[in-house]
Structure 1
Amino acid sequence: MLRTLSLWLHSAVTGSYVSGTYSIVFVNCPNEQIARDIARASLDKKLAASVNILPKASSLYFWNGEIEEATEILLLIKTKTSRVHVLSSYIRLVHPFEIPEVFSLPMDQGDVHYFKWLEEGMEED
């Protein structure tokens, strides 16, 4: 929490972006309707500022000792790094997979105006 506050203050004072303030969360979904439901709810709950839905990702993976193959929908969820844990917990609650694929990568560099837009998109009303 203290780190998040200090990053926010640094960004506000300098007008620059501090690496790692935002993250992209990757989530595979079994179909487009579930992907859209998770995307919309994440936005409604202000857990994300933007979500891309990428159709028809081919997935191969081990499950119960066997190689499985499936077509899934990939979500790219842009959020504050400080909210990744809450977002991941929410996804586990609503996702139909026994073990949903949910992981994040911090955003290292990018356009300062885009990061400001992300911040504004996640502000509480």
Structure 2
Amino acid sequence: MDRLGSRCPLPGYSRPSVLICFLILATSFLMYPMLRTLSLQLHSAITGSYLSGTHSIVFVNCPNEQIARDIASFLWKGEIEEATEVLLLIKTKTSKVLMLSGFIRLVHPFEIPEVFSLPMDQGDVHYLKWLEEGMEED
């Protein structure tokens, strides 16, 4: 009997059935997001570090400002918070994000300013070339 057949969990079958293999594969595929999330949380808890991909940014289109305000109201320190904020977009090299974050912490009035970056994976080739040419090299 071959190796695969000797490990078959079903009596009377010399090889695992295609259905069992499919079920194992489908279960693994369906559980991957949950297992990944749990492993990221466990790693962060043990090491005290942040892993890329743990958090997400959600962009929401709203038909008007009032709907946006209703959605944006949130609980902060036991009270409903509704703040006006201005979004500043800074385009820079990924290698300079850490230095930029340090500068922002020095000059920003919030105790913990909201600073994060998203990599530019795609875009207009002409714009990306213009952006690259406009940034100084260190």
Give TM class, smaller chain.
0.3 to 0.5
Tell me the TM-score normalised to structure 2 length: 0.43
Higher strand proportion (structure 1 or 2): 1
RCO higher in structure (CA 8 A, sep ≥6): 1
Tell me the TM-score normalised to structure 1 length: 0.47
Larger Rg: 2
Higher helix proportion (structure 1 or 2): 2
